Amino acid sequence: MATTPDRFPGTREEDELELKPSGTDPTVIGAIRSVSGAFRMRDGSGVFDPRTGGVAGVNVEDEGTPVPNTPHTVINFEGAGVTAVDDGGGVTKVTIPGSAGGSGNGAGLIWGNKEVGQSAGSPRFLDPGFDSSNAARVAPAIGLPSPMDGNVQNLQILHNVPGTSGVKTVSYTVQINGVDSSVVATLLENATTGNSGANTAAVVKGDNITIKVTKSADLDVTPQNVTSAMEIA
């Protein structure tokens, strides 16, 4: 195609410029301008990909000066359910799914109290956030609503100041709408950290989530400044 560097055969906005290189490493020199903002390059077969013969990418130059951020050979979106669809008009729409019940890919919830009490009698419940003045409460519990559909998992417990017994245990059970789930973290009284392992429990947006505290026996010394965190994914 014979043309000056800054002028191409079509003058109408809807005209399409097609460069059909015959080699494996074509170089385009000159100014390429499109009023409509649409510019396409095609190889000799008409396929919308000028890479042939193992060429790694397309280098775009402005009168011999490389345009920044080219070439881009691969854009790799990682994660379950990611889709990319060409709408036929030069736009690729990439969808990165979050939860059907909320935005983003997950949520974190926290509870905590000054202590969990010494008696093994009635269960206690951690308060949402962190109450630095009071022990975990007896019923009724105060819950947090699930912000999304998903699975409760990865309950982490921290005894910032552990107790003394290496025999007696404290169990922290995630309840959903008042019902015990399999997401449970059990720690020795004198342990610092513990978690619920790989267990999960399904929730839907708005479910009431609480953390119940039980003990194997009256504690020698109640752990202090107990905090917890879990995720919904």
Tell which residue, 148, 151, 113, has the closest CA to residue 129.
113
Q: How far is CA 162 from CA 120, 135, 157, 221, in A?
A: 17, 15, 11, 8
**Which pLDDT band holds residue 69 (cuts at 50, 70, 90)?**
low
Q: According to the model, what pLDDT value does residue 16 have?
A: 46
Q: How far is CA 227 from CA 8, 110, 172, in A?
A: 68, 7, 11
Q: Measured between alpha carbons, how far is 138 from 41 in angstroms, rounded to an integer?
A: 70
Q: According to the model, what pLDDT value does residue 23 have?
A: 52
Tell me the per-residue pLDDT of 162-177, one tens digit each, with 9 for 90 and over. Answer: 999 999 999 999 999 9
Phi-psi region of 90 (alpha: psi -120 to 50; beta: other; left: phi over 0): left
Burial group, residue 183, by CB count within 10 angstroms (0-12, 13-18, 19+): buried
**Which pLDDT band holds residue 83 (cuts at 50, 70, 90)?**
confident
Q: Measured between alpha carbons, how far is 189 from 181 in angstroms, rounded to an integer?
A: 22
| Domains, the chain | 1-97 (no CATH), 107-232 (2.60.120)
DSSP 126: P
Tell which residue, 32, 21, 23, has the closest CA to residue 67.
32
**Which pLDDT band holds residue 110 (cuts at 50, 70, 90)?**
very high
Mean pLDDT of 190-197: 96
Which pTM does this prediction carry? 0.58
Tell me the per-residue pLDDT of 123-142, one tens digit each, with 9 for 90 and over. Answer: 999 999 999 999 999 999 99
Mean pLDDT, the chain, as a whole number?
76
Q: Measured between alpha carbons, how far is 126 from 78 in angstroms, rounded to an integer?
A: 37
Q: Give percent above pLDDT 90 in the chain.
A: 52
**Which pLDDT band holds residue 91 (cuts at 50, 70, 90)?**
confident
